[in-house]
Amino acid sequence: MKKIITQISEIMSRAFADCGYDAEYGAVTVSNRPDLCQYQCNGAMAAAKKYHKAPVLIANEAVAAADGAEIFTATAVAPGFINITLNSEFLANYVFAMGGAESFGVEPAENPKTIVIDYGGANVAKPLHVGHLRPAVIGESIKNILRYRGHKVIGDAHLGDWGLPIGLIITELKRRQPELPYFDPDYTGEYPKEAPFTVAELEEIYPFASQYSKEEGHEEYRDAARRAILDLQKGNRGYHALWEHIMTVSMKDLKANYEDKLNVHFDLWKKESDAQPYIPDMIDGMNKGGYTRISEGALVVDVKEESDTKEIPPCMILKSDGATLYNTTDLATIVERMKLFDPDQIVYVVDKRQDLYFEQIFRCSRKTGLVKPDTELTFIGFGTMNGKDGKPFKTRDGGVMRLETLVGNIDDEVLAKMADRDFPEEEKRQIAKTVGLAALKYGDLSNQASKDYIFDIERFTSFDGNTGPYILYTMVRIKSILAKLGTIPEAVKTAAVRERGAAETALLLTVTRFADTVEKAEAELAPHKICQFLYELADNFNGFYHANKIVGEPDEAKRNEWITILRIALAIFGDGIRMLGFEAPDRM
């Protein structure tokens, strides 16, 4: 569907052109004085300068020439603004047409892209903690928004499974249980199918080993861990079997957390190790292309550019001891992604403190030709989730909070808020989970991703204000009105000629801005735009609800229109919250 603002802009542009002025002066914006009008055109003010004529005269001419009578009323006001208000029936009809349109009038992208989005980054053998919340929540929403516009999106978990942590776990296991067959070099039989540890044990082993290796006098332990990694890479059978156990046990747990607790679904569960086979050829190519040089024994690629205002250090490819690094893996992952998916764009949702790092990676991959010249590489850096003290969010005793604990706390808070509801206990718990997830995700997504924000459990779970539960509460209110009606009349297609009050008009106007909102959220990869829209929609719906008796309205034509509007608004709410990555209960 053609957007209303586009329709008005076209008419006004034609009007300006017909009067002999540049058509571009007809551009229309949403009014910044909603008390006066809905849209405005300020072109006459600018045209006045060029044509040396009083702006109000130009505005008057344009208004007289505009043939938009079916759509709007335009009024020129001093000193030269044009105030535009939609005809009530046009506005209502537009909303009714949205109800019958695919995706409520959101057009599919003209040139759908293939986009890989990298938004997991959890590390195996470590529990998911609050640090993993933001990439998962933001990335999932960006993925949904892009899909809504028809792009082909591949979400990749890109798990950290490479490097020292694995070596440490192997070393610690060997210290604790040297009798296991994995450590017997003469063992030729099959290894046990069952892992010699549970996920809980694994989560205890890693931090223990990490701490132990850093302590005084444990150099030998540290060396053993490094050697274990090398042996693993060289194909040590026993270590490889252990590594597979670590992966199986850990992945199962990570999947359960991402999917069941966070409603986050990756299409790909790739790991850093999957990129390793691409490294030798990649480095070979970089060397042959003459892009590399040796700096203090290390292999590096210079990535600074003349226009830089700050120092951008070279991108290191190999350490002086020949070992690969985090950089090498990310570059090789780009090679892998280009080979597997040939994407038009790769989006990274990673802590904003890694922005310089990604600048190096992006420049290096462009310079060395790992990507095509027109492959877009996009870094969405997110800010920190802080506690109420303004410092990074921690548990009460200063530790890192597990994601499960955080989610559990939110659910409990919502449950407490619903104490007076006499729903069956099990249903209540289920609702609390649904509402809790909305509180958590909306609390995060309603902020611009790059900003730090304060995790405020009371505010996030409040049923009032700019919160997830408020959006859900509004949806539940609409659902209950519709349920009260019993039978739902057929959707109205043509609006009656009648007076529409301020609250109804405000609601209709907000609904019409859905497509524009989705397009902006997509262009800027900005879920907070969807939040803003849903909040406005909820507020305007509630304003309308309080101003009118919907079910009791005696005028049937009017009531049927209202029911149609309710259904459309509810469906748009539904698509909106699904883009944010949560669902609504039937009651709460």
Q: Does residue 160 bind ligand ARG (CB under 6 A)?
A: yes
Give yes or no for residue 273 binding ligand ARG (CB under 6 A). Answer: no
Of the listed pieces 116-124, 397-405, 509-517, 541-549, which binds ligand ARG according to CB under 6 A?
A: 116-124
Q: Shortest distance, CB of residue 170 to ligand ARG, whole angstroms? A: 19
Contacts of 397 (CB under 8 A, 6+ apart): none
Rounded CA-CA distance 531/473 in Å is 15
Q: List the interface residues with ligand ARG, window 318-337 (CB under 6 A).
A: 330
Q: Which stretch binds ligand ARG (CB under 6 A): 94-102, 115-123, 206-214, 416-424?
A: 115-123
Minimum separation from the CB atom of position 362 to ligand ARG (A): 12
Quickly count: other Cβ atoms within 10 Å of residue 115's Cβ. 23
Is position 158 an interface residue for ligand ARG (rule: CB under 6 A)?
Answer: yes
Amino acid at 310: K
Return the residue nearest ligand ARG (CB atom).
Answer: 121
Token pair in block for residue 258: 């991402």
Per CB under 6 A, the segment of 97-105, 118-126, 251-259, 407-415 that binds ligand ARG is 118-126
- Reduced to 3 states (helix: H, G, I; strand: E, B; else coil), residue 156 is strand
Give the nearer residue to ligand ARG in terms of CB position, either 133 or 506: 133
**Helical H segments across 72-122, by residue range:** 88-100
Both tokens of 234, joined, read 């060289």
Q: Give the nearest distance from C-beta 121 to ligand ARG in angstroms.
A: 3
Helix, strand and coil in the chain, % to nearest 5:
55, 10, 35
Q: Using the rule CB under 6 A, is 213 a contact of ligand ARG?
A: no
Q: Which of 350, 435, 471, 478 binds ligand ARG (CB under 6 A)?
A: 350
- How far apart CA 52 and CA 400 sit, in angstroms, is 66
DSSP 160: B
Q: Is 582 left (phi over 0), alpha (psi -120 to 50) or beta?
A: beta
Nearest to 262 by CA among 93, 441, 429: 441
Please report whether residue 149 would count as binding ligand ARG according to CB under 6 A: no
Closer residue to ligand ARG, CB minimum distance, 117 or 145: 117
Q: Which two tokens stand for residue 143?
A: 């993925």
Under rule CB under 6 A, residue 343 binds ligand ARG: no
| Residue 271 engages ligand ARG in binding (rule: CB under 6 A) | no
Asked whether the beta carbons of 124 and 356 are under 8 A apart, the reply is no
Residue 118 engages ligand ARG in binding (rule: CB under 6 A): yes
Of 38, 83, 123, 461, the one binding ligand ARG by CB under 6 A:
123
Interface with ligand ARG in residues 503-532 (CB under 6 A): none
Angle, helices 527-547/514-523, rounded to nearest 10 degrees: 160
Alpha-carbon distance of 289 to 366, in angstroms, equals 13
Based on the shown chain and the rule CB under 6 A, indicate whether residue 121 belongs to the binding site for ligand ARG: yes
Q: Which stretch binds ligand ARG (CB under 6 A): 117-125, 168-176, 263-271, 431-439?
A: 117-125
Is the CB of residue 75 less than 8 Å from the CB of residue 82? Answer: yes
Binding site for ligand ARG (CB under 6 A): 118, 121, 123, 158, 160, 330, 348, 350
